[in-house]
Amino acid sequence: MAEVFDLVIFGGGGDLSRRKLLPALYSGFVAGRVAKGSRIFLTSRKGLEGSSEGWLKEVFTETPPACPVEKQDLKDFSEMVSVIELGLVEGGADWEAFRDALKTDDQDRPLVHFLAIPPSLFTSTCELLGEYGLNSGRARVVLEKPLGNDLESAQAINADVGRYFEEKQTFRIDHYLGKEAVQNLLALRFSNILFEELWSGRTIDHIQITIAENQGVQGRKGFYEGTGAMRDMVQNHLLQLLCLVAMEPPARLEADSIREEKLKVLKSLKPLEGADIDRNVVRAQYQAGAMFGEAVPSYVDDVELDTPSNTETFVALKAHIENWRWAGVPFYLRTGKRLPDRFAEIVIQFKNVPHSPHPDWGRGLNPNRFIIRLQPEDHLALRMMVKNHASKSETLKEVEMNLDVAGDDSTRLGPYLRLILDAVRGDQSLFVHRKEVEYAWRWVDRIIDHWNASGEPPESYQAGTWGPYEAHDLMTRDRREWFHETSGKRAGR
Ligand code: BG6
């Protein structure tokens, strides 16, 4: 049975709350995953216009939830939602009223504070939560990324939050960890001997992890300029995916063991330095181009700048993990805005067979690939070679064994709802430990510092293409190529 809880969304009227959290909570409510009797408080500096029902209706018109918005459901849901006007810098009458609103006789009822606000407000908000006694045992704090913008600021945030909330009350969210397919990756790796036996440099040639987006950064000017793809995507989502692919089997599928194993991966990432960075890390920024037949502006125009900017909207890099399992296996990571397609995919490319026993088989003999598609749909596919019956000669063709894991859509929670409900239950397995955040920054900071010191601008790519030439060169000079599929067809540059 779903558990009754209190949830406070700090930044309740903001982008994350409107686009992700509220639609997810509404569909969770309709599906019976968010228990009736739970309370959702949206804090906002200026209050929100109109009744919560009217306001929510508007929010769901902008971003429709996964299920239809029916009148009665909307009414019932909006009765759970209250809007609270609250400053996050100093206490006062508004904080007293807020504390009173949160009062309950049930001291076991979970209270989740979701900080969907800029990290510069994390410290003062946690301090106020402490001052008003809202950090008791029933309270948890969820920290949305970005957690700082380098190691030093992340350490400061972790230390500040740590003064008011214990580590077991602190939930650092990376919504990629809440994606169904990501969890399936754990199930697949650690409950099938087949994969585990093949999962190492003995049989794997290399691994590619791509998060491609076709959106630009319009409307996120304040956040994106000066942040860039390395901080926005690589430091968190891409490195977390790399950890899940590369980690050793945890002793148990529970928070401490999983996070310990992920941390070992981050500690084993070979640091990139100096010329190694120039050679193995590509950064670029999109220029004006065309998407789906329509002209789109450049990054600089999207963020309305009058001067050029060095902020990267694309990163491709080659990383190595220095341990027994992965020695010599490159991990190619890639992410970018304004690419031709939106998808997230992990490709495990196996080595080729050491010898082809038939002379005609040598040609077109592709290595096996295991493809884990995280979005837009969950999909697992194994690409293998079989005899080509259509051909008169003894040729081979590549076929794809599709593993349909999506299941019944109505049972799926979506990443944010899953993670909020995990926080309600106090389960930290899919949240990031402070040390993981810090080790990830340590690795990424070296690269960013090198870029800053060089003063060189990023490369350019036209919006609607697969990034700059250098990203392809990163692969082709290793005699490899980026792989991805659209509707079963191989898509190139
Ligand atoms: C966020 C980034 O963390 O993830 C965004 O800040 C990015 O820039 C988004 O667009 C991608 O998430 P998803 O789930 O849509 O792939």
* Residues 225-253 pLDDT 10s: 989 999 999 999 999 999 999 999 999 88
Specify the range with the lowest mean pLDDT, choosing from 136-145, 335-344, 389-398, 467-476: 389-398
Placement of tokens 């005609």 in the chain = 360
- The verdict on 305 and 363 lying in the same domain is yes
**pLDDT band at 338; cut points 50, 70, 90:** very high
The answer to whether residue 164 is domain-embedded is no
**pLDDT band at 408; cut points 50, 70, 90:** low
pLDDT score, position 406? 64
Residue 119, domain CATH: 3.40.50.720
Measure 175 CA to ligand 1 centroid, in angstroms: 8
261 within 8 A of 252, measured Cβ to Cβ = no
The ligand 1 atom at the shortest distance from the C-alpha of residue 344 is 16
The pLDDT of 112-121, averaged and rounded, is 94
- The verdict on 199 and 307 lying in the same domain is yes
Angle subtended at Cα 256 by Cα 250 and Cα 257, rounded to the nearest 5 degrees? 10
pLDDT at 445 over 80: yes
The ligand 1 atom at the shortest distance from the C-alpha of residue 415 is 14
pLDDT at 58 over 80: yes
Q: Which of 175, 206, 237, 484 is catalytic?
A: 237
The answer to whether residue 342 is domain-embedded is yes
Q: Which of 172, 210, 237 to mutate to test the pocket of ligand 1 (most atoms within 8 A of CB)?
A: 237
CB hemisphere CA count around 356 (13 angstroms): 16
The answer to whether residue 440 is domain-embedded is yes
The answer to whether residue 355 is domain-embedded is yes
Domains identified in the chain, total number = 2
pLDDT at 362 over 80: no
Measure 313 CA to ligand 1 centroid, in angstroms: 12
b/e 21-48 (16+ beta carbons within 10 angstroms → b): bbbbbbbbbbbebbeeebbbbbbbeeeb
pLDDT score, position 395? 83
The answer to whether residue 15 is domain-embedded is yes
Dihedral of CA 263/269/273/279: which sign?
negative
- The verdict on 239 and 365 lying in the same domain is yes
Cα 182 to its chain centre, rounded Å, is: 10
The pLDDT of 370-392, averaged and rounded, is 87
15 within 8 A of 217, measured Cβ to Cβ = no
pLDDT score, position 184? 85
The ligand 1 atom at the shortest distance from the C-alpha of residue 174 is 3
pTM recorded for the entire structure? 0.94
pLDDT tens digits for range 294-304: 999 999 999 99
The pLDDT of 70-86, averaged and rounded, is 94
- The verdict on 94 and 193 lying in the same domain is no
> What's the domain range around 100?
6-144
Name which residue sits closest to atom 9 of ligand 1, judged by CA.
233
CA distance 422 to 340: 34
- The verdict on 190 and 137 lying in the same domain is no
- The verdict on 228 and 122 lying in the same domain is no
Give the residues surrounding ligand 1 with Cβ less than 6 Å away.
Answer: 145, 175, 213, 232, 344
Measure 144 CA to ligand 1 centroid, in angstroms: 12
The pLDDT of 342-352, averaged and rounded, is 95
- The verdict on 139 and 37 lying in the same domain is yes
pLDDT score, position 422? 95
pLDDT at 485 over 50: no
Measure 300 CA to ligand 1 centroid, in angstroms: 20
Q: Last residue of a domain, which of 144, 160, 186?
A: 144
Q: What share of the chain has pLDDT > 90, as a percent?
A: 76
The pLDDT of 442-466, averaged and rounded, is 96
The pLDDT of 109-129, averaged and rounded, is 95
Name which residue sits closest to atom 2 of ligand 1, judged by CA.
232
The pLDDT of 383-396, averaged and rounded, is 82
- Look up 237 and say whether it is catalytic: yes
Q: Last residue of a domain, which of 95, 122, 144?
A: 144
Name which residue sits closest to atom 13 of ligand 1, judged by CA.
176
- The verdict on 206 and 338 lying in the same domain is yes
Ordered DSSP codes for 333-392: EEEESS-S--EEEEEEEEPPPS--SSGGGSTT-PPPEEEEEEESS-EEEEEEEEE-TT-S
Mean pLDDT for all residues in the chain: 92
Residue 478, domain CATH: 3.30.360.10
Task: Specify the DSSP class assigned to residue 430.
Answer: T
pLDDT score, position 194? 87
- The verdict on 220 and 91 lying in the same domain is no
pLDDT score, position 411? 54
pLDDT tens digits for range 209-232: 999 999 999 878 788 998 999 999
CA distance 473 to 223: 30
- The verdict on 122 and 246 lying in the same domain is no
Most confident of the following: 188-197, 327-336, 373-382:
327-336
The pLDDT of 458-484, averaged and rounded, is 95
146 within 8 A of 231, measured Cβ to Cβ = yes
Q: Last residue of a domain, which of 144, 166, 191?
A: 144
pLDDT tens digits for range 162-180: 999 999 999 999 999 998 8
Measure 332 CA to ligand 1 centroid, in angstroms: 19
The answer to whether residue 37 is domain-embedded is yes
